[in-house]
Amino acid sequence: MTYSAGQQAIFENRQDAGRQLAAKLGEYRDQSVVVLAIPNGGVPVALEIASTLEAELDLIVCRKIPLPLAPEAGFGAIADDGTIILNEEVVKRIGLSRQQIEYEASKVRAEIKQRSLLYKGDQPLVRVSGRTVIITDDGLASGFTMMAAIESVRHRRAKEIVVAVPAASAIAVRQLEKFAVKIVTCATEFSPEFYVSDFYRDWHDLSDDEVIQYLRQWRMRRFG
């Protein structure tokens, strides 16, 4: 489904987006599947997908690396196993040195470690070797955070990697196609400006407490 700026939101909230996305992933039901959520926003989406597919659920904590003087923008992303993807075009244009890159990356690594402990404690990673892995978030803007997640999962020897997001920019989809993964979306935005929030009627940034509550909810659903 294509989407143009100015159309109404198509998801009530992240749970609704997860249910709509799960309907497009029916072929993976009854298979050995792990759904990996990129927190924070990807967690309620992933919970609905994993519940529908009766799959395992885990997190892959990835964060963008912010530009030193413009933290709302980024020049790459890091996954929780240390995998790093850089936007070399931005790095070159801004003129970042390797020392600056490493300094900013080290701060992000520390944040990722802190968040991983907060969300998961000492729980081990779910095994993905030889299995289908569905990586999800609440939307895909530039795609660099997802790229880091893909490379991280690839290092863990997944059989197949599927990127499933409710909404994505066409630019990000083209970028991810280079990674030879299957991409599933409910809507792809072709206009120059892309904002994930535009696709949701009920939108807010999820807090860490909300993420923890969703994970508790999943454990209750799965294990009683």
> pLDDT tens, 28-41?
998 999 999 999 99
Rounded CA-CA distance 72/118 in Å is 23
pLDDT band at 134 (very low <50, low <70, confident <90, very high): very high
Domain ranges of the chain: 2-61+121-223
Mean of pLDDT values over 174-179 = 90
Contact 199, 11 (CB under 8 A): yes
Specify whether the CB–CB gap between 74 and 142 falls below 8 A: yes
pLDDT at 180: 76
Q: Provide φ and ψ at 5, rounded to 5°.
A: -55, 140
| H or E element, residue 8 | none
pLDDT interval class at 223 (50, 70, 90): low
- Token pair 């964060």 is found at 63
For residue 122, pLDDT beyond 50: yes
Distance CA 25, CA 2 (A): 18
Measure the CA–CA gap between 124 and 216, rounded to whole angstroms: 17
Tell me, what's the pLDDT at 142?
Answer: 87
Q: How much is the pLDDT for 83?
A: 94
Higher pLDDT pick, 189 / 43: 43
Q: Is the pLDDT of residue 5 over 60?
A: no
According to the model, what pLDDT value does residue 4 have? 46
The CATH number fitting domain 2-61+121-223, selected from 3.20.20.100, 3.40.50.2020, 3.30.420.240, 3.30.70.360:
3.40.50.2020
Between the CA of residue 62 and those of 34, 52, 75, 150, what are the distances in Å? 17, 24, 14, 10
| Mean pLDDT confidence for 168-186 | 92
What's the mean pLDDT in 129-150?
Answer: 95
pLDDT range class, residue 1, cuts 50, 70, 90 = low
What whole-number distance in Å separates Cα of residue 125 and Cα of residue 122?
A: 9
Q: Note the pLDDT of residue 7.
A: 55
Kindly state the average pLDDT of the residues 14-28.
Answer: 97
Asked if 173 and 188 touch (Cβ cutoff 8 Å), the reply is yes
pLDDT grade for 183, boundaries at 50, 70 and 90: very high
Whether the pLDDT of residue 6 is over 60: the answer is no
Q: For 92-116, how does the pLDDT look when each residue is reduced to its tens digit (9 = 90+)?
A: 998 999 999 999 999 999 999 999 9
